[in-house]
Structure formats: structure tokens, C-alpha cells
Amino acid sequence: MINPNLHRQPVPLDPAQHRALKVAFPVSDWSVADRLNAIFVAASEFSDACKEYPVVFVRAGQEADGRDQVAPIAVLGVAAERNLYLTDADVPGQPRGWRAHYKPAVLQAYPFCIGRLDEQRFAVCLDLAWPGSNSAEGQPLFDAEGQPAEFLKAMRQHLETFEGAVQSTRAFGRRLLELDLLRDMRFDAKMPDGRQHTVDGFLAVDQEKALALPDNVVGEMHRNGMLGLIQLHWASLGLMRRLVDWHMQGVPAAAPPAQPAA
């Protein structure tokens, strides 16, 4: 899964071109994610992600048959291209950390990602824009014969497992749409400068519609795990307030009104 706000120069790995590459893995400087204000999370991640991120849904285009798609995301910021989960560097230009214990699987794999060649084939890609992707010291990707190194084999397995989780998550989103359970979500907050800040563009599961589902559908959703996922999604929404608070910490307070001349 390629995110253009994270993977800025993803290139399929080729032993002929990249045999000598080493990668400084895992990532220690998350400055590369400074423009990332949301990131995909698979349904299998909800139990971890919901503790540290608001987990909501977004419209994600259409399937091959024309049906709408939605995708769950972890919200990282409440303004465009601003990631609130980055720690401030003590010195400008120094590495920036991540202010949550759990990182979504897309970040865990970075600088690697899956690039789909067609419906059946995919390639393991590396973001060559990341400085650590051509390190003098680090994890070798290929051995002297051009065969994948053990590190790259393990990363490929991780990405293949995650791709399976992506497909299961799409089925979850498809069922939410079939049941018409999603509604537009809006969160309003007043900034220190007095302006009103609105967070929208997201979707949430409508509690009234969910509670009105017939018993046979509720039983189905209990058995397939959907009810549990919805509960985790609802529990995470309270973290939106924390994100707005983090955002407000970087917004200057309004200047006091000018006093009339005596």
C-alpha cells in the first residue's frame, strides 16, 4: 500500500539495480512523515490503534464493479499535511520521534511497501527518497548472488500478511456500506485565537442505526467480529479531543483588543 505523503519515491526492488543497497532499519527519524495527517489501519490493528489514535473511515474510491469503497484510518492531525504525532526535535534538523507506542503497520514496514503490478502480482518497493534507504551501514537487501537476504525475506512475508489483512478490511468496509451504517462525522473546536476549527471529511458508524439492526444481522456481526471492531472504533473517537488539544498548543492565542485612546 503506497501513500504519496509518506512513500515519496517508491521503486520496485530489483537485485540487478539494488544488490548493494543497505537500509538503516528500523526508522529512528520520523521527519519523513511530517505531512501525514492520516494513515490506513487494517481491521486487525483496531485493538492496538484505538488506544492511541482516533480510528474513523474515509471514502476510498470505487471497486472494479463500481461499488463504493471505504477505508479505516488512524487520524494523525486535524489540519492538512500536519502530523501531530511527531515529537519536536531538541535541535533543528535532529531526528524526530513518534509520540505513541503503537505504530500502524504501514509505518512499521516503512521504508518498504507493496506496489501492485496487477490484480494478481505485486512487488516489494523501497522508498528511495528516505535518506536511510542507501546506508553505508545497515541491513543488506540481497546477498552476493543477488538473492534476497533474510531481512528482505522477512519483510516480504510481513507485507504479504498485511496485504491479506487489507483485503479482509475491505470486506468489512463493504459490509458497513451494505448495511448503511456510516454517517458523516464533524468535530468543532474553538481555537485560542477565537476562530472555529472544524474537523470533517470522515465517516463514523451511526450508533442509532447500529442499535436498530435486526437480531439476525447482529448475530452475524457478532460471529464474524464486526461488532467488536465497531465498539473499538467508537471507543477511539474520544481521542479526537486530544488531537485538537495538541493542535491548539501550536496555535497562538488571539491578541487582546486594542484599548481606546484616552
What letter does residue 46 receive in the DSSP assignment? H
Residues 68 and 19 sit within 8 Å (Cβ to Cβ): no
Cβ atoms within 10 Å of 54's Cβ, excluding its own: 26
In this structure, what are the phi and psi dihedrals at residue 39, rounded to the nearest 5 degrees?
Answer: -150, 145
pLDDT above 50 for 115? yes
Cβ atoms within 10 Å of 64's Cβ, excluding its own: 6
Which grid coordinates are listed for 137? 551501514
Domain locations along the chain: 10-249
Range with the poorest average pLDDT among 106-110, 138-142, 185-189, 219-223: 185-189
Per-residue three-class SS string for 173-187: HHHHHHCCCEEEEEE
Q: Is the pTM of this model over 0.85?
A: yes
Could you give the 3-state DSSP secondary structure of residue 189? strand
pLDDT band of 192, cuts 50, 70, 90:
low
Cβ atoms within 10 Å of 237's Cβ, excluding its own: 18
With residue 30 as reference, give the H or E element that holds it: none
Residues 6+ apart with CB under 8 A from 111: 7, 23, 25, 27, 32, 126, 127, 130, 132, 133
Per-residue pLDDT, 152: 95
Which grid coordinates are listed for 233? 472504533
Q: Tens digits of per-residue pLDDT, 49-96? A: 999 999 999 999 888 788 889 999 999 998 888 999 999 866 677 889
Range of 8-17, 42-51, 121-130, 135-144 with top mean pLDDT: 42-51
Which grid coordinates are listed for 87? 515529537
Beta strand segments in 138-251, E: 139-140, 182-190, 196-205
Per-residue pLDDT, 256: 44
Return the closest-CA partner of residue 76 out of 191, 248, 246, 193.
246
* Mean per-residue pLDDT, 132-161: 90
* Mean per-residue pLDDT, 142-160: 93
Distance (Å, whole) CA 100 – CA 85: 7
Per-residue pLDDT, 185: 87
Strand-pair partners of 197:
189
pLDDT above 70 for 219? yes
Per-residue pLDDT, 66: 82
pLDDT band of 191, cuts 50, 70, 90:
low
Which one is predicted more confidently, 259 or 75? Answer: 75
pLDDT above 50 for 206? yes
Distance (Å, whole) CA 85 – CA 96: 10
